[in-house]
Structure 1
């Protein structure tokens, strides 16, 4: 994948939101003409599943747009590795919800992450069952279905989307599909990519140490984190050091990374 111009990369504030929440939603990133062409392919090849990525030339065009390539490059570099993809289809009035889970079974990397792009070709309101995510959960690694016993969790958020929206998810975020209460089939295409290089300084790092960015990370507490909220704050600060490539930046709780000389 060729490199894009600087203005197509994610900003420091956008990356800080991703580091804090474990996902970043980029609204209406793909133009409507392409959305409609890809949606037509989705309706035509209902059983494409893992092969839809290679089947739809329109889909390839969407992911070759500079604004889409720029987001991907900001997360996983210019030569990411293809892990897998899938065309998820939920029929009308399919009222079963998926159990909470995280997609990564074993991950020995302390900071590196795969990225998962969830692309919505059509408007997807809450009643259509877009994916439910738990903000901030990506830093609590779990073994896939070990969290299935949980039901509703305070702070959970559905990825309600307009056509052309792509939500970029950290591979370890807790998530689950929701029931489709409408008369219309719901489609979402998922693409998972591995980093092709060390994920340090890949985004537009201008202002990465600004008060605005610090505020995003320092105020990223979630009610579900409970007593561990300050520990989660430290984890966010560690991940921020990694993605910025600056081992001295310290947005941790009470400057813990500096005080304890953690590198």
Structure 2
């Protein structure tokens, strides 16, 4: 999997900017399928579940998270074999000038994992 890890320039860019942008990492048809699935997928597994077990296989979200490039990105930023914490799809409609509000756990999280 080392061919899909971020390089030092990309890591530095992430540290400096707080984000990276990969326009074509997720194929458009898979991205569209994920957008359709997101509002209906709770996916709230127990904290500490291995990340690989979080997203069902043969689903758009599962397929997206299993792409080699995405796996390399996660490995680069979080490390191998990460554990699931939580997720929430903060969907914002087009042409909105305001993003979603941060939720409480963006401030501090006392959970062990």
Query: Which TM-score band applies after superposition, normalised by the shorter structure?
Result: 0.5 to 0.7
| 2:51 aligned partner | none
**The structure with more radius of gyration:** 1
Q: Is the 8 A contact 2:90 2:100 kept in 1?
A: no
Partner SS for 2:32 = helix
Return the TM-score normalized by structure 2: 0.66
Is 1:105 matched up with 2:108? yes
Q: Which runs of 5+ in 2 are unaligned?
A: 45-53
| 1:146 aligned partner | none
**1:93 shift after superposition:** 8.0
Return the TM-score normalized by structure 1: 0.32
Name the CA distance, whole Å, in 2 between partners of 1:103 and 1:92: 24
Q: Which runs of 5+ in 1 are unaligned?
A: 108-193, 195-263
Partner SS for 2:20 = strand
**1:12 shift after superposition:** 0.7
Q: Is the 8 A contact 2:4 2:68 kept in 1?
A: yes
Name the CA distance, whole Å, in 2 between partners of 1:104 and 1:50: 22
In the superposition, relative to structure 1, how do residues 40 and 100 fare at CA in structure 2: closer, same or farther (>3 Å)?
A: closer
| 1:88 aligned partner | 90
Provide, for residues 217-262 of structure 1, a one-character-per-residue CA deviation record: whole Å limited to 9, x for no partner.
Answer: xxxxxxxxxxxxxxxxxxxxxxxxxxxxxxxxxxxxxxxxxxxxxx
Name the CA distance, whole Å, in 2 between partners of 1:19 and 1:93: 28
**1:29 shift after superposition:** 0.8
**1:14 shift after superposition:** 0.2
Aligned residues, how many? 100
| 1:72 aligned partner | 74
Is 1:21 matched up with 2:24? no
1:167-178 paired onto structure 2 within 5 Å: none
Q: Is the 8 A contact 1:49 1:88 kept in 2?
A: no
Q: Is the 8 A contact 1:50 1:87 kept in 2?
A: no
Name the CA distance, whole Å, in 2 between partners of 1:24 and 1:96: 21
Q: Is the 8 A contact 2:92 2:100 kept in 1?
A: no
**1:100 shift after superposition:** 6.6
| 2:34 aligned partner | 38
Q: Write 1 or 2 for the structure with the bigger share of helix.
A: 2
Q: Write 1 or 2 for the structure with the bigger share of strand.
A: 1
